[in-house]
């Protein structure tokens, strides 16, 4: 790795180099194949859990409702995100491969951010769904119609694809003045953009794209839960508040799991806190790899209908004698 770093430092220029250099998990470079096992295990469990959610929602007509449709989209984003991360992670784990071509890096960056923003957008849509269901229960069916859900899906698609599609092209044509050594095990937009020369033409657009999703969505989700909290205070009994609050438990857990590590990483970078690199790398892994693994468990445990439908589908059917 030191040879790569030296070579990259000496050849830093004003154009994009053919490769970027990734950083593996410190301390494991000597035994790369060891941490391939937990990586593959996490990925397979994530794919299995989210696949079960997708399967049961697609097959059960009783689950064809807004809340479960958004859960379907959340599982799609989780599978897509974990899949987009795997190529460079497994390359580091199996072969200790730190170099990745610029085109492959930008492609990975595009898909990682598309699915990250998709997850953030779906979590916001789910917060809106819960707020309408609790604050306006009588008008909920007329407010969140199939037409409204279709428009929400179009808006999510535009945020994910329309806004992010120009980013790889902008970054590919920006001048670079710093050694092209990244600080993560995968290609992320802020990591690549910080290597560009000051005054690059795409910097403002890149900042707008990032803040429009990751900065705005948590605030809107917080506002939605503020409305929910105010309505719950007016409920007559503690039991009614508990039952209404339980419908939000899985979603609130997913929101915290997704945003807390992201906010901590942003604060560490912005405040330049003296946090060891291994701790930053592990926090980044938690942010990207843990939600796809935990979300299916959260929703299977907290949502009775999902749990019952999965159990019903998996239960052996009795065959009568002819």
Which range is least confidently modeled, 1-10, 32-41, 71-80, 224-233?
A: 1-10
pLDDT 10s digits, 56-115 = 999 888 888 888 999 999 999 999 999 999 999 888 888 778 889 989 999 999 999 999
* Rounded mean pLDDT, 157-182: 84
| pLDDT, mean of residues 205-216 | 77
How much is the mean pLDDT over the chain? 82
Q: Is the pLDDT of residue 30 over 80?
A: no
Q: pTM of this prediction? A: 0.86
CATH no. for 28-312:
1.20.1070.10
CB-CB neighbours of 96 under 10 Å: 15
Residue ranges of the domains in the chain?
28-312
The 10s digit of each residue's pLDDT in 159-169 is 888 888 888 88
Would the pLDDT of 201 be above 60?
Answer: no
């Amino acid at each position: 790795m030191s040879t790569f770093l030296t070579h990259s430092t000496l050849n830093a220029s004003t154009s994009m180099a053919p490769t970027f250099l990734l950083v593996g998990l410190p301390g494991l470079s000597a035994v790369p194949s060891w941490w391939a096992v937990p990586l593959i295990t996490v990925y397979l469990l994530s794919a299995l859990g989210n696949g079960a959610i997708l399967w049961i929602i697609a097959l059960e007509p009783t689950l064809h409702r807004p809340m479960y449709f958004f859960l379907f989209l959340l599982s799609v984003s989780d599978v897509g995100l974990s899949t987009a991360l795997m190529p460079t992670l497994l390359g580091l784990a199996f072969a200790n491969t730190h170099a990745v071509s610029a085109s492959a890096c930008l492609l990975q960056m595009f898909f990682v951010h598309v699915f990250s923003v998709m997850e953030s957008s779906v979590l916001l849509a789910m917060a809106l769904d819960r707020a309408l269901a609790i604050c306006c229960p009588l008008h909920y069916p007329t407010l969140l119609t199939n037409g409204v859900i279709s428009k929400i899906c179009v808006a999510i698609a535009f945020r994910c694809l329309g806004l992010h599609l120009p980013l790889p092209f902008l970054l590919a044509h920006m001048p670079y003045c710093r050694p092209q050594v990244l600080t993560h095990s995968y290609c992320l937009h802020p990591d690549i953009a910080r290597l560009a020369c000051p005054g690059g033409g795409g910097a403002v657009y890149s900042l707008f794209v990032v803040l429009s999703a990751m900065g705005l969505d948590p605030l809107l989700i917080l506002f939605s839960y503020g409305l929910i909290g105010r309505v719950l205070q007016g409920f007559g009994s503690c039991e009614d508040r508990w039952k209404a609050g339980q419908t939000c438990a899985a979603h609130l857990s997913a929101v915290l799991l997704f945003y807390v590590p992201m906010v901590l990483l942003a604060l560490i970078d912005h405040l330049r806190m003296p946090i060891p690199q291994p701790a930053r790398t592990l926090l980044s892994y938690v942010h990207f790899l843990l939600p796809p693994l935990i979300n299916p468990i959260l929703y299977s445990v907290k949502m009775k209908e999902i749990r019952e439908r999965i159990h019903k589908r998996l239960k052996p059917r009795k065959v009568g004698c002819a």
